[in-house]
Amino acid sequence: MKTIIQDKLTEIEKDHGIKILYSCESGSRAWGFPSPDSDYDVRFIYIKKLEDYLSIQTKKGHLSFPVNHELDIYGWDISKVLQLITKSNTTPFEWLQSPVIYREDKRFKDDLWQFCQNYFCPRSNIHHYLGIAKGALETIQGEDIKIKKLFYVLRPLLAALWCAKKNTIAPMSIYLLMDLLSDDLQKKVLSLIDLKSTASESYLTKIDAGLRKWIDITFDYCMEASAKMERKSFDKEEADIFFRKIILK
């Protein structure tokens, strides 16, 4: 599959006249808990030709493609990525930490990751992750929840807790985030990861009582912690400098 994905990225470059600077896996395969029927969620950051940035015509900042069987590909222009980073958007933070990389300009990736550190707002990140967790919790059917949705509760809550306690960008991998859990809860989550690795994403499971208690307590803790934090705003001049450096290379 990796060869198929890399060939597809080369085809996209040719068809759209762009250069892909970085491409990675962004879904459950990168988070650490894939199911047998998990899609390949391929994401990429690209740069256009210099003259495209000097045109008065408005151009979209993304490229999307129909989902083909198990392959879901989506990309953002570097200008859009930088705009999102200046808003402390979690998505670029996660892409740059992915353990599954399909295309990489190492210098670009390292520079962009370092750039991200100057635009981290704990409050914004916590609210983003809590929003995902809340949406997944609302899918509970009686006492049951799809195992995919359960992980859309657990990982975002762990990420929100990381931001609240450590005041740094949350890791992408659930295994790193699980350092925040007790040994007992770690065993329960690892058991769920094992189950998800053999079950379909629509498989229904019940939330363990101890895990549900942790979910409720953690949600409330993160809400209270974020309420005490400032809503940071960031200067975009540094982003403009970074952007010009990239497109003028």
Strands 71-77, 62-64: pairing kind: antiparallel
How far, in Å, CA of 86 to CA of 84, rounded? 5
How far, in Å, CA of 132 to CA of 209, rounded? 21
- Enter the pTM of the model: 0.94
Share of the chain above pLDDT 90, in %: 86
Query: Which residues lie closer than 8 Å to 170 by C-beta, 6 or more apart?
Result: 90, 93, 125, 129, 158, 159, 160, 162, 163, 177
pLDDT score at 112: 98
Strand order in the sheet with 62-64: 62-64, 71-77, 40-47, 19-25, 101-104
pLDDT score at 143: 82
Query: What are 94-147's pLDDT values in tens digits?
Result: 999 999 999 999 999 999 999 999 999 999 999 999 999 999 999 988 889 999
Sorting pLDDT into bands at 50, 70 and 90, what band is 89?
Answer: very high
pLDDT score at 130: 98
Within 10 angstroms of residue 8's Cβ, the number of other Cβ atoms is: 17
